[in-house]
Every structure is written in C-alpha cells, then in structure tokens.
Amino acid sequence: MTIKCIAIDDEPFALQQIGNYIKKTPMLELVALCKNAFDAFEFINSAQVTLIFVDISMPDLNGLDFVRSLIEKPYVVFTTAYSEYAVEGFRVDAVDYLLKPIGYNDFLKAVNKVKNLIGLQSSHPETVKTTGEHLFVKADYKLMRINLDDIKYIESMHEYVRIHLTDEKPVMTLVSLKSIEEQLPQNKFMRVHRSYIVNLEKVKFVERFRIVFENNVYIPVSDQYKEKFQQFIDKNFLI
C-alpha cells in the first residue's frame, strides 16, 4: 500500500519537517510540498492525493477553509501550534490533529489511523439496504438503521460515503455513492454531483446552482445534473 501525500505549511521549517517524515515512512509517497493552500489545489486535482497534512494558521486561505472548499476530500491531518483549533479541526472530519512541535511518533500514529481506515475500505464488502422509510448500512462494525427523512445529503469520500443527518453526527459507511443511490427513492433523493446526493425535501435555498445548507455548507450542482435539477426547481418553486 502506497499513500500519496502532500504537505501544506507557510512555515519553511515545519513544511520541511513533515516532508522529511513522509520520505522516511515506507508506506507514504511525497507528491508535493506547498507553501500555501492555493498551490495545493493543482496537486489535489491532478495527482490523486490520498492524504494531506495541512497547517491551520496560514495567511490568505487557512487550512480549515481550504479543506471545507474541497469537493472531493482526501484524508486530512491538521498541523498547528494552537491547541484551540482542535475542535474545529475535527468538525471538518479530520483524521487527526498534530500539535507543533511534531514528533515522529505522533506523526506515525496519525499515518496509521489513515492506513487503518483505508484497510477497512478494502476489506469490507459494500452492504446497503433500504425500505420505504429506512436505510440500513454497515458502520462502526454494526448494522445501523437510518430514517430517510433524517438524511440531508450524502457525500462521497473516496471508497466510502458520509451520510449527513439533520440532528445527529454524520454516519460513515464503506459503500460507493452509486450503490447507495440505487437504493434510494428517486422521488425524494437526487444525484446533483459526482460526489453528492441530496434529499430534495431538505432543499430550501438554491444560489447559482448551489444548494445551501446551514453552517455555510454549499453543495454544487454539476453540469451533468443541472437539467434534471432545474426541472425539480421549476416544478416545486415559484420563480
């Protein structure tokens, strides 16, 4: 197993340290060292990056906003000198949070967490079933029942999906977005992007072909799905 990585940090010493750690870890492959988040976009979009180490406190575009802006998110490990960012880091579903100065042992623990997640993806068959009102998925080594009405949207994350719920924390399950799409009722759920399915009954606000949820979450509607989504708008909204 080889995990392609990039490191992002505006501090040269910290960036070089993470780069050295990546190079000395056999399972990792260093794709790029980036001094800012803008430089990293190119590599994430073109190099099939699996893991990013990103500093939170950077000028112009900080690490948290950078990760939030990604449509298809790699695994994320935040690095920072400020412990107060830990809660925000985990709210954007980071795998781990490393406090500077970072020792190699802590770095390796974070890498092993990512490795274990990837291992879970490859070792578990896809299992998803639905009834008229519920979705049954395997998550956290157990079978979970999720009310369809509680689902806001479903996000593709590499080989698994994250199901975002109305009043509970998201549920992560090892299935493809296509598999889960095939099980959902088409009159209630719509694929609007290669990485997103939305619950149409939860759509209240659309801005420039972006579906807006609370907490400034924007779901893009890609060109491939715009016509179908426009039909939904024309039918259900007064223009």
pLDDT at 126: 53
Q: Name the band, by pLDDT with cuts 50, 70 and 90, for residue 218.
A: confident
- The structural domains of the chain, ordered by start, are 3-123 (3.40.50.2300), 128-236 (2.40.50.1020)
Estimate to the nearest angstrom the gap between the alpha carbon of 170 and the chain centroid. Answer: 11
Q: What percent of the chain is modeled with pLDDT above 90?
A: 31
| Mean of pLDDT over the chain | 84
Longest Cα–Cα distance in the chain: 59
pLDDT at 195: 86
Q: Number of C-alpha atoms within 13 angstroms, CB side, residue 133?
A: 0
Least confident of 55-59, 80-84, 192-196: 80-84
Report the pLDDT averaged over residues 162-181: 86
Whether 108 shows a pLDDT value over 80: the answer reads yes
pLDDT at 85: 58
